[in-house]
Amino acid sequence: MKVVIAGSAKLQNEIQKWIEHWNNRDGYSVLDYPKAIPQDNFDELYPGVHKNFFKNITEADVLFIANDRKNGIDGYIGVETFAELGFGLAQKLIYGKNIKLILANMPAKEVACYEEIVLWKKLGWVDEIIG
């Protein structure tokens, strides 16, 4: 099963931990994950990296949200990661794609999308929250 990991590219240590987690599971392979983009040509590289990441979500069997602690907030989900999660959900709802949406952690109430995550979990749109 192909896994795309979404989350903050600033949390590279945590991302590496999740890559190992998924690649060590039988039958799972990480297709894409957040990578740090060099700042000297960020504006030039970002559009292609972003487009490719969304393309890989369309090919994934699992979209895993690596929402670890960031900025002092447990289960942090930033705007871009929420957009990626929404895109994965759109694949599921509109196109009937059999994609699992899995979160590492339940976001803290301070996270802007907390209420949506609670609702999506209640509706069965989020398949699993590990922590």
Q: How far apart are CA 43 and CA 110, in angstroms?
A: 30
Q: What is the pTM of this model?
A: 0.95
Q: How far apart are CA 103 and CA 65, in angstroms?
A: 5
User: Does residue 32 carry a pLDDT above 80?
Assistant: yes
Nearest 5°: the CA angle 12, 16, 17 is: 120
pLDDT per position as a tens digit, 59-84: 999 999 999 999 999 999 999 999 99
User: Does residue 19 carry a pLDDT above 80?
Assistant: yes
The band of 131, judged by pLDDT with boundaries at 50, 70 and 90, is: confident
